[in-house]
């Protein structure tokens, strides 16, 4: 639910037309707008960094929770989440470039992926610890009687195909 809501808000922000008297050219040089903002001053640099880091940062936690991977391997979860956010950010930035008043900026993709990676690294260990402490649903216990199958009194031996054994007929164990 939260993932859908967040993606809906991101899509609305990316596709809504922005009225601007002029727009700058597209930025395809990595971190060029960040360097430009740092040269302008402290508040502009902080605003630029946060506007790039924050929009995709919740996806670093929401994607693993939606897929159900908090208990999986940490490195694999991190790589899958970061890769998915990079692809989603790239697609979102391309679609955003088509909307009036928006321009393509590769720094948005890079900073958004970095924000999601940081959110994943900071918040997923806490959520994993919470998931481990929470009791899970009881698992069905196997039948303690050997040789019984569910719904039958006794398991029947399966026939062994002759071709699989090189033409020899082998009797099943009884």
What is the per-residue pLDDT for 3? 92
Identify the CA nearest to 110 among candidates 6, 42, 31: 31
Successive 10-residue mean pLDDT values, the chain, 174 residues: 92 87 86 90 87 94 84 86 96 90 92 97 89 66 58 60 58 61
Phi then psi dihedrals of residue 105, to 5 deg: -140, 115
Q: Considering the entire predicted model, what is its pTM?
A: 0.72
What is the per-residue pLDDT for 147? 54
d(CA 99, CA 30): 22
d(CA 111, CA 36): 15
What is the per-residue pLDDT for 23? 81
What is the per-residue pLDDT for 40? 87
Q: Which residue has the tokens 């930025």?
A: 27
Identify the CA nearest to 19 among candidates 96, 129, 84, 102: 102
Q: Which residue has the tokens 């989440």?
A: 81
What is the per-residue pLDDT for 138? 66
- 86 within 8 A of 113, measured Cβ to Cβ: yes
Identify the CA nearest to 80 among candidates 33, 127, 124: 124
What is the per-residue pLDDT for 59? 96
Task: Give residues with Cβ within 8 angstroms of 107, minimum separation 6.
Answer: 27, 30, 31, 32, 33, 34, 52
What is the per-residue pLDDT for 144? 60
Q: Decide: helix, strand or coil at residue 105.
A: strand
């Amino acid at each position: 639910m939260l993932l859908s809501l967040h993606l809906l808000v991101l899509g609305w922000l990316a596709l809504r037309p922005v009225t601007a008297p002029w727009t700058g050219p597209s930025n395809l040089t990595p971190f060029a707008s960040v360097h430009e903002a740092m040269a302008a001053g402290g508040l502009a640099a902080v605003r630029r960094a946060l506007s790039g880091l924050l929009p995709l940062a919740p996806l670093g936690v929401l994607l693993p929770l939606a897929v159900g991977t908090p208990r999986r391997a940490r490195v694999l979860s991190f790589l899958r989440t970061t890769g998915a956010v990079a692809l989603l950010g790239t697609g979102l930035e391309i679609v955003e470039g088509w909307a009036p008043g928006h321009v393509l900026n590769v720094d948005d993709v890079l900073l958004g992926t970095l924000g999601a990676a940081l959110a994943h690294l900071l918040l997923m260990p806490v959520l994993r610890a919470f998931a481990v402490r929470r009791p899970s649903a009881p698992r069905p216990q196997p039948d303690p009687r050997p040789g019984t199958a569910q719904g039958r009194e006794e398991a029947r031996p399966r026939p062994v195909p002759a071709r699989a054994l090189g033409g020899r007929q082998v009797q099943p164990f009884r």
